């Protein structure tokens, strides 16, 4: 049990941003014998082959073609998302107040922002670098030391703070990066034209540069380039405290971004496991696929989000490259034979707030992956897809639990309804249980990390065969015969 969680924690510690999550995933795919391909090139695929491609470096799609692939056969796909709520740097970050150099940030997604106060913060993301010879590259940046901090206000200055910590993002979420006086006095990090700190104004709106030199120098030092080479960036704040196993019996995982890196890791480990040398891939007639999307936390509408053409493009091209164009309706028939597991974390019941859960549906740590239901289609699960997922887990000996939100509370949503709408593919929404969702530091269970990997592997290995026994797709006549 612990092996999976230790490996998962190593993955979380690599995956500070969607870019780093994709890099961590690609590294493991390459180690497992997957070959990188590009959406810009022609694809030559073969049965038994294992491939992956990335989009924007923040989304990745990997797939393994069954050794016994039949043109028009379906995909069994697990989808997850690489992004998590965080403060991102604004285009012009420079801000100065009360002799502190600060960095302007904007909210990405719906975070529990009060949890970001008093954390030791690093910076990470992607930087566009323009070299002297005119070449432009993008480099991944990770400043893994506490270079910034958002201090909380002392209780003495607001006695009401414990009655509800209201965060005004614009007003309260600019981290301190350096002392203006210290910086201006030198330490070799600030140019001579930095204004006299005594004359610094409350706002730096009229300053000519977009960023404090100290920030640009941190970036340039880390990337080993000149400050002038930094053309642009997409950076976010990150908690530098490493993810870890915790609890008296080492039963928990404490980490940022468990939503949804835990699902990214579980789907990756399951795909690698189910397509390795000793797996059943050689007998598989379909395609085993994983897609990790960006931008779920802000609605999935982007070129690399679940609302994009990415899934459909990939599936069509795989089908066509493997002879699907030789049969009538190859790509469409393939999609109707497919199954998507939309994997996103679920809310475990909280011991101090147990009344927030529907009494008959309280997901618990250690009781397995949660199947999420919602009659109003906030989740894509239906009776057939829930049964498929549950049955495959039970056959593999892993537990499973069910969730529906209280009828007097609103329900979250996932990539599930978006994917099923776009592709017409049968979809189930599931996820391992966790606490503190969207906090800077979340909590889940080691047992469920193992359950998730085993359950997703069971889906990859068993779906195609189980689906052939189903009698529920298509026209009325199909109700009384298998749907293959
Ligand atoms: Zn999520």
Sequential DSSP letters for 458-475: HHHHHHHHHHTT---SSS
User: Are 310 and 59 within 8 A, CB to CB?
Assistant: yes
Distance 298 CA to ligand 1 centre (A): 10
What are the helix (H) ranges across 147-257? 169-172, 180-185, 213-223
Whose CA is closest to 417, among 406, 409, 405, 425? 425
Distance 302 CA to ligand 1 centre (A): 16
Residues 6 or more apart whose CB falls under 8 angstroms from that of 55 comprise 39, 61, 303, 304, 308, 310
Distance CA 386, CA 364 (A): 18
Q: What is the pLDDT of residue 208?
A: 52
**pLDDT tens per residue, range 341-382:** 999 999 999 999 999 999 999 999 999 999 999 999 999 999
DSSP assignments along 334-384, one per residue: HHHT-EEEEE--EEPPPTTSGGGS-TT----TTS-EEEE--TTSSS---HH
- The region of weakest confidence among 64-68, 117-121, 189-193, 316-320 is 189-193
Q: Which residues pair with 371 in a beta bridge?
A: 402, 430
**pLDDT tens per residue, range 216-264:** 999 999 999 999 999 999 999 999 999 999 999 999 999 999 999 999 9
User: Are 25 and 60 within 8 A, CB to CB?
Assistant: yes
**pLDDT tens per residue, range 63-95:** 999 999 999 999 999 999 999 999 999 999 999
Distance 414 CA to ligand 1 centre (A): 7
Distance CA 259, CA 431 (A): 9
Q: What is the pLDDT of residue 472?
A: 55
Q: Which residues pair with 290 in a beta bridge?
A: 62, 78
User: Are 402 and 373 within 8 A, CB to CB?
Assistant: yes
Determine the Cα angle at 29 with ends 27 and 30, to 5°. Answer: 65
Distance 438 CA to ligand 1 centre (A): 8
Which residues are in the CB-under-5-Å shell of ion ligand 1? 259-260, 344
User: Are 123 and 238 within 8 A, CB to CB?
Assistant: yes
**pLDDT tens per residue, range 433-474:** 999 999 999 999 999 999 999 999 999 999 999 998 886 555
Q: What is the pLDDT of residue 288?
A: 98
Q: Is the pLDDT of residue 39 over 80?
A: yes
Distance 133 CA to ligand 1 centre (A): 42
Distance 93 CA to ligand 1 centre (A): 28
Q: What is the pLDDT of residue 367?
A: 98
Distance 431 CA to ligand 1 centre (A): 9
Distance 464 CA to ligand 1 centre (A): 27
- Strand 86-97 and strand 100-108: the pairing is antiparallel
Distance 145 CA to ligand 1 centre (A): 26
What are the helix (H) ranges across 81-212? 169-172, 180-185
């Amino acid at each position: 049990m612990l092996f999976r969680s230790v490996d998962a924690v190593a993955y979380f510690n690599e995956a500070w941003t969607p870019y780093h999550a994709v890099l961590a995933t690609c590294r493991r795919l390459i180690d497992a014998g997957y070959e990188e391909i590009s959406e810009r090139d022609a694809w030559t695929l073969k049965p038994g082959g294992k491939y992956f491609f990335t989009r924007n470096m923040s989304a990745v799609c990997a797939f393994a073609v069954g050794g016994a692939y039949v043109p028009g056969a379906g995909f069994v796909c697990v989808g997850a998302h690489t992004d998590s709520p965080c403060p991102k740097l604004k285009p012009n970050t420079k801000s100065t107040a009360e002799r502190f150099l600060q960095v302007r940030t904007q909210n990405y997604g719906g975070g529990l922002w009060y949890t970001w106060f008093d954390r030791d913060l690093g910076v990470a993301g992607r930087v566009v670098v323009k070299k002297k010879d005119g070449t432009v590259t993008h480099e991944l940046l990770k400043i893994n030391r506490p270079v910034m901090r958002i201090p909380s206000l002392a209780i003495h200055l607001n006695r009401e703070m414990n009655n509800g910590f209201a965060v005004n993002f614009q007003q309260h979420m600019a981290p301190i990066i350096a002392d203006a006086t210290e910086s201006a006095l030198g330490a070799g990090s600030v140019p001579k034209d930095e204004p006299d700190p005594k004359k610094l104004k409350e706002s730096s709106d009229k300053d000519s540069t977009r960023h404090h030199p100290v920030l640009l120098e941190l970036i340039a030092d880390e990337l080993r380039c000149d400050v002038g080479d930094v053309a642009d960036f997409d950076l976010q704040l990150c908690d530098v405290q490493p993810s870890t196993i915790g609890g008296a019996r080492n039963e928990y995982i404490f980490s940022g971004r468990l939503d949804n890196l835990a699902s990214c890791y579980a789907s990756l480990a399951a795909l690698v496991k189910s397509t390795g040398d000793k797996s059943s891939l050689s007998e598989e007639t379909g395609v085993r696929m994983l897609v990790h999307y960006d931008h779920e936390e802000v609605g999935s509408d982007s070129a690399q989000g679940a609302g994009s053409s990415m899934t459909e493009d990939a599936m069509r091209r795989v089908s066509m490259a493997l002879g699907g164009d030789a049969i009538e309706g190859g790509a469409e028939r393939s999609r109707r034979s497919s199954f998507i597991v939309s994997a996103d974390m679920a809310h475990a019941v909280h011991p101090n707030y147990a009344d927030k859960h529907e009494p008959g549906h309280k997901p618990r740590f250690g009781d397995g992956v949660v199947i999420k239901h919602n009659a109003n289609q906030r989740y894509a699960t239906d009776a057939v897809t829930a049964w498929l997922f549950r049955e495959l887990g039970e056959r593999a000996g892993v537990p499973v639990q069910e969730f529906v939100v209280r009828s007097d509370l609103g329900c979250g949503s996932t990539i599930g309804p978006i994917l099923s709408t776009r592709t017409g593919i049968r979809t189930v929404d599931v996820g391992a249980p966790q606490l503190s969702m969207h906090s800077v530091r979340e909590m889940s269970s080691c047992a469920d990390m193992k359950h998730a990997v085993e359950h997703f592997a069971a889906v990859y290995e068993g779906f195609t065969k189980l689906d052939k026994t189903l009698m529920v797709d298509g026209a009325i006549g199909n109700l009384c015969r298998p749907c293959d």
